[in-house]
Structure 1
Amino acid sequence: MNQNLLVELFVEELPPKALKRLGESFAGVLADSLKAQGLAAADAVVASYASPRRLAVQVANVAAKAADKPVSQKLMPVAVGLDAEGRATPALIKKLASLGADESAVAGLKRVGEGKAETLMFDSVQPGATLAAGLQQALETALAKLPIPKVMGYQLADGWSTVSFVRPAHKLVALHGADVIDISVLGLKSGRETLGHRFEAAKQVVSITNADTYAEQLKSEGAVIASFAERRAEIVRQLAVAAAKVGGGVRAIEDEALLDEVTALVERPNVLVGQFEEDFLAVPQECLILTMKANQKYFPLLDAAGKLTNKFLIVSNIAPEDVSAVVGGNERVVRPRLADAKFFFDQDRKKSLESRLPGLAKVVYHNKLGTQGERVERVRAIAKAIAAKLGVDAAAVDAAAKLAKADLLTDMVGEFPELQGIMGGYYAKHDGLGDTVADAIEDHYKPRFAGDELPRNAVGVVVALADKLETLVGMFGIGQLPTGDKDPFALRRHALGVIRMLIERDLALSLDELLRDAAAAFGALIADASGALAGFIYERLAGSLREQGYSAQEVDAVLALRPQRLGDVAKRLAAVRAFAALPEAAALAAANKRVGNILKKIEGELPTEVKPALLVEAAEQALFAALGEVAPKSEQAFAQGDYTASLQALAALRGPVDAFFDGVMVNADDLQLRANRQALLGQLHGLMNRIADLSRLSA
């Protein structure tokens, strides 16, 4: 009989930052195992539950026993299994015995194949798994595959046995409908009892009646919202309600990671409003927000303009009639944290950023690349070179590059490393350096992540480019390349940051020149790895473009030419897409591929001059004439940056190109004719591949 199945493992408090993944993995792997064993349908509905003290899953319509299934097993070649008279050999009898059959099964064996490849096949029926055996296997598999951050060992109640798990486990529930399924794991025997909320439960021990009543019983009797998703949604709802009660258009700060973590800390959320003294708002709001979020797991409230208010939201795990003690306790706890932030801010401003620079010479950046002080000098040199190419204020660029890392030596950044750059901007303004330099110092780490904004001003873009290029060139130069999923120096992120700034700011910069300028700042300290680094950057660009919806063929065609100005890439892709839609595109792409293959086989230098007098065939004369008409139009459009028009002009070449290959032998016996035709194809190839390698569009 098919009924819904419930499995719950009740444990001590699970690590909050991992709870969501633990819950999803537990439910997903266990359900997949049941489906693979035929105990649950492939499309069975699976409900995942995860709270601070439990992992659970409900699988719909699980069978008490899987259906038997026919199995056909390959035994051995006929020549090995049967003797000349057709009797079973000892080898065949032994094989059948291992499968639970005897010699009487020989007559029923099937033969598959012919001649020496003829094979004996044994058909049998494999009994379906019972739910108890199948669930035992599924549970063990689910626990083995849990993405546990750190395993701990603990002793069982017998005082002798020790098991290892993410946290000590105390109860195991396994119900098929209303029936307990006899399984065991981590020294626990299955039953129907679990525990409710530590403080709020109407019944501390909750006896689950049926797999279908699990969530409702926990909520009504145990004061626990078992579903992670439901609990999270309830917190979001209560945050909005609490913010509305405060009024004035305030809203809770949006932070998905914090929301997940808080959801993992409470079993029944109760959102309350707390506040702190307004004097603390003189401290940069990033400092206050970070300390409230990171240390206390509070949701700061922002006003309609995005400025921090002196109120915050607490997600409590209890709901007493009088909440004043809970609110007051949280307010007392946060006050010293904010006082620390204010103290750090006040102390840091007693010293200028400039005065901190000598200290960077004592901070090791990398044992092969020297100190932070030496790194700053390299960033300054790279930034100077970029500023000169772009015509950006050199003095402002140098000031920002020189001071960009000085805040690493401040107390605030020492306490909150996440604020590096941000605090540098505040301290630069306090030192009277002006908004341009201060904003560049704050922004030089941007973009920090996918979707992050770019630096606000040109000075910031130059310093950010210099900083990221210094990291990339330095790490590649000492062989610290990313491998697999390991990227300890975030080189992939740095490469994407460089790509985004070059493209989105449409900077007139050559990628190879940028890498050469960056490498020059290191002198002889590193090996030349510019080729490998350029390839790495183009790979990141290709991946990014595919994610944006461009086809692999389109991306490959454009990036095959290694365009130096990345700001042109989007226009090149648009031109390639428009060209590919032309009826002539497929034939021209195939011809271009053929031309490329011919030119690759030429030994020595490719002839460049086409001599009209040596064009003896009508088809090659027609192609030469067509090139004379099309090339000026295509080149003019190219020079004007109209890549789409430049490629579309090539459509007129289809007929002459097809006729040329139909009627002209390129590798003629006459060496002069051969060289002339090779030169003609060379001009055609150059014209067709200025914007993209069109041969890559050929299927």
Structure 2
Amino acid sequence: MTSKNLLVELFVEELPPKALKKLGEAFASTLADSLKAQGLAGASAAVTSFASPRRLAVHVADVASAAADKAVSQKLMPVSVGLTADGQATPALLKKLAAVGADASAVSSLKRQMDGKAEALFFDSMVKGATLAEGLQKAVDEAIAKLPIPKVMKYQLADGWTSVDFVRPAHGLVALHGADVVNVSTLGLKSGRSTQGHRFEAAKPVVELRDADHYASQLLDEGSVIASFADRRADIVRQLDAAAAKQGLKPIDDEALLDEVTALVERPNVLLCQFEKEFLDVPQECLILTMKANQKYFPLLNAKGKLTHQFLVVSNIRPADASRVIEGNERVVRPRLSDAKFFFDQDRKKTLESRVGGLAKVVYHNKLGSQGERVERVRAIARGIGQQLGGEALAAQADQAARLAKADLLTDMVGEFPELQGIMGAYYAKHDGLSDDIAFALEDHYKPRFAGDELPRNAVGIAVALADKLETLAGLFGIGQIPTGDKDPFALRRHALGLIRMLIERELNLPLAELVSQAFKAFPATHGQAQAELAFFLRERLVGYLREAGYSAQEVEAVVEARPALWAEFPKRLAAVRAFKALPESESLAAANKRVGNILKKSDAPVSDTVSAALLKEPAEQALHEALQAVAPKAEAAFARGDYTGSLQALAALKAPVDAFFDKVMVNAEDPALRANRLGLLAQLHAAMNKVADLSRLAS
């Protein structure tokens, strides 16, 4: 049994660029995993993926020509079914043995073994390991079947009768074990060693591969193709940076565009182009988007991040004179930029205010009405938030911004490029003479749009952004559109995270319960009242947000269970809990707190937190009462001024009296008055200890 490196390539027509990276990774990993599962490759065998516009390939190191034979123990059936009372094989057992390739002579060698509560018969045998041809055929079939194809197409094979479903028509299959061809087939193709290079620049139209290890080098030298997706991408980045640096500029940073362009070329060649400077009068976001989305160009920015009239093209050919390629790309981009300029000029002929009425004709959701109705709900919520954050002046600004926030949806520019919603609203607001506060709010009310995105820049934007997200959450929860599992078609988790980030990172003095209540009040009385469901959903997102911020599950649970009204307090409370955990007294106090909570829960009668000094009989309970009288005011004062760390650290003085109390005092005394008094003392202790966080959650 020999081991050699294996190369498999599927040569196809141009693959969908946005899917190529995933297709290449899936093809390689599925095929390699299948070989490993069959014992043809080691678990740690090196796997290299290749993907270009016209090929998917994988190189697997140290693949055996045949897998080792494997001992297998097969469960046949319960003993009671397979053997008669005198130990003879039943017809059922003989039939089962025949199915696994054995006969009656094997009965005596069958093993008896407990299987759950019953004894079963097991047949031990040696299964011959798969040959590479057999195993690779299975692996190729699995790799084809499991490809994450975005859209399947049906095409006919060369015989004119047979049809195949695949992502694109396939024209070649290579399977090399070292220098030897492995006979496999798929999609009507039989394996060989021939592949094709670049459509226009290959030194040879057909590349005859010598062996598995020379695949990438031969394709590069003879086929003018960089087969590795990662290598091709790195080459594009290098060329983009070098070309931009010559002009003192920087290419726009866009990972998705880089992946897509990498999937469009086999041998990249970056060229510098330009357009007329007059187009720079159009907002740069419009020009950048049209160049990226429609033409796959890389706009160039100056040191201040402003768009210039130059851009970079990633060509798939390398002519000696590239002027024709450059001229062609400059000619193609011009109409796109002209369209953007036309849309911008036309949109500015109407004010945003004049467009608001038209929102009544735009459906938002069939159960939630029009965009016009939605705007009115957002306005009501934004006014309330503005009033709380900045009084009547901010409420009026928030109301105005909320009224205009969706007006740009009716502009030609946003109709062509929905990604520019909000951004264009800000430009048009400034053109209409509105203040920067309002203009920024129109752009920022969608923020944060994704994890790590910046928050709104000013208080008006915060108010409208909060209102917009609250209206969305309350509206969709009210009609039962609650995210389940991995399904979240309306991105409500993203809206919830944005809401949480604004409350915490901007330290807003806004109680969450009031915000949720305000949001539902903006809807008609017939709207579903799902405040509890929404509050629970937000709590789950909060826990995830805090865990990602680096706090432990124990720390987060302790603070969340304290249920602060203001979520802006969470960072300070968590920092206080972390500092408290570092104290030598913390573990004992947390355990005592948990014990106190359990005692209070088990009390048959309601517990009052009043304590009569006259009923404190034991020295230990007297000492605890005195300590609590001294410590509680200090902790309360620190808590009142927002010094949560100081509040918790003041509790450290209670360790010794609390320990002594539980050692010396019987809480559930027979005398009802003594029992009630001691429970009252514990209630006071529990209240004092759990203002900042539920310390019982820190108990190990």
Confirm or deny a common fold (TM above 0.5). Answer: yes
Distance 1:20 1:665 in 2: 69
Counterpart position of 1:290: 289
Distance 1:121 1:660 in 2: 63
Counterpart position of 2:584: 583
User: Identity across aligned pairs (percent)?
Assistant: 73
Distance 1:329 1:80 in 2: 80
Higher mean displacement: 96-105 or 57-66: 96-105
1:219 aligned onto 2:220: yes
Counterpart position of 1:399: 400
Counterpart position of 1:648: 649
Alignment of 1:344-493 (within 5 A): 344-391=343-390, 393-493=394-494
Q: Deviations over 1:573-601 (max 9, x none)?
A: 11112222222222222222222222223
- Superposed CA RMSD in Å reads 1.7
Counterpart position of 2:169: 168
TM-score (norm 1): 0.97
One-letter amino acid matched to 2:401? A
Q: Deviations over 1:583-630 (max 9, x none)?
A: 222222222222222222334533121112222223322222221122
Gaps of 5+ in 1: none
Counterpart position of 1:311: 310
Distance 1:266 1:119 in 2: 60
One-letter amino acid matched to 1:609? T
Counterpart position of 1:260: 259
The answer (yes or no) to whether the contact 2:28–2:47 under 8 Å persists in 1 is: yes
Alignment of 1:538-557 (within 5 A): 538-557=539-558
The answer (yes or no) to whether the contact 1:79–1:116 under 8 Å persists in 2 is: no
Distance 1:29 1:96 in 2: 34
Distance 2:627 2:454 in 1: 48
Please state how far the C-alpha of 1:117 moved relative to its aligned partner.
Answer: 4.9
Counterpart position of 2:191: 190
Please state how far the C-alpha of 1:462 moved relative to its aligned partner.
Answer: 1.1
The answer (yes or no) to whether the contact 2:385–2:395 under 8 Å persists in 1 is: no
Please state how far the C-alpha of 1:221 moved relative to its aligned partner.
Answer: 1.0
The answer (yes or no) to whether the contact 2:209–2:215 under 8 Å persists in 1 is: yes
Counterpart position of 1:243: 244
Please state how far the C-alpha of 1:527 moved relative to its aligned partner.
Answer: 1.8
Gaps of 5+ in 2: none
Q: Deviations over 1:86-145 (max 9, x none)?
A: 444444433333222233333433444599855443322221111111111111111111
Distance 1:407 1:19 in 2: 35
Counterpart position of 2:621: 620
Which secondary structure does the structure 2 equivalent of 1:391 belong to? helix
The answer (yes or no) to whether the contact 2:383–2:396 under 8 Å persists in 1 is: no
The answer (yes or no) to whether the contact 2:398–2:463 under 8 Å persists in 1 is: yes
The answer (yes or no) to whether the contact 1:77–1:116 under 8 Å persists in 2 is: no
Counterpart position of 1:40: 41
The answer (yes or no) to whether the contact 1:289–1:300 under 8 Å persists in 2 is: yes
Please state how far the C-alpha of 1:318 moved relative to its aligned partner.
Answer: 0.8
Higher mean displacement: 167-176 or 639-648: 639-648
One-letter amino acid matched to 2:227? A
Distance 2:509 2:488 in 1: 30
Q: Deviations over 1:188-218 (max 9, x none)?
A: 1111111111111111111111010111111
Counterpart position of 1:559: 560
Counterpart position of 1:340: 339
One-letter amino acid matched to 2:693? A
Please state how far the C-alpha of 1:165 moved relative to its aligned partner.
Answer: 0.8
Counterpart position of 2:65: 64
Counterpart position of 1:330: 329
Please state how far the C-alpha of 1:526 moved relative to its aligned partner.
Answer: 1.5
One-letter amino acid matched to 2:573? R
Higher mean displacement: 140-149 or 43-52: 140-149
Distance 2:387 2:154 in 1: 61
One-letter amino acid matched to 1:207? E
Counterpart position of 2:496: 495
Q: Deviations over 1:405-464 (max 9, x none)?
A: 111111111111100100010011111112111111111111111111111111111111
The answer (yes or no) to whether the contact 2:26–2:143 under 8 Å persists in 1 is: yes
The answer (yes or no) to whether the contact 2:378–2:402 under 8 Å persists in 1 is: yes
Counterpart position of 1:663: 664
The answer (yes or no) to whether the contact 2:23–2:149 under 8 Å persists in 1 is: yes
Q: Deviations over 1:41-81 (max 9, x none)?
A: 11111000011111110000000111112223334455554
1:26 aligned onto 2:22: no
Distance 1:118 1:438 in 2: 78
Please state how far the C-alpha of 1:28 moved relative to its aligned partner.
Answer: 0.8
Distance 1:532 1:84 in 2: 62
Please state how far the C-alpha of 1:367 moved relative to its aligned partner.
Answer: 1.6
The answer (yes or no) to whether the contact 2:631–2:653 under 8 Å persists in 1 is: yes
The answer (yes or no) to whether the contact 1:557–1:692 under 8 Å persists in 2 is: yes
Distance 1:39 1:295 in 2: 46
The answer (yes or no) to whether the contact 2:448–2:456 under 8 Å persists in 1 is: yes
1:11 aligned onto 2:12: yes
The answer (yes or no) to whether the contact 1:8–1:55 under 8 Å persists in 2 is: yes
Higher mean displacement: 640-649 or 583-592: 583-592
One-letter amino acid matched to 1:470? E
Give aligned pairs, total. 697
Q: Deviations over 1:385-405 (max 9, x none)?
A: 111111162332222111111
The answer (yes or no) to whether the contact 2:9–2:174 under 8 Å persists in 1 is: yes
Which secondary structure does the structure 1 equivalent of 2:617 belong to? coil
Please state how far the C-alpha of 1:15 moved relative to its aligned partner.
Answer: 0.7
Distance 1:376 1:118 in 2: 70
Please state how far the C-alpha of 1:222 moved relative to its aligned partner.
Answer: 1.0
Counterpart position of 1:200: 201
Distance 1:136 1:648 in 2: 68
Please state how far the C-alpha of 1:658 moved relative to its aligned partner.
Answer: 2.5
Please state how far the C-alpha of 1:37 moved relative to its aligned partner.
Answer: 0.9
Distance 1:697 1:417 in 2: 48
Distance 1:56 1:437 in 2: 54
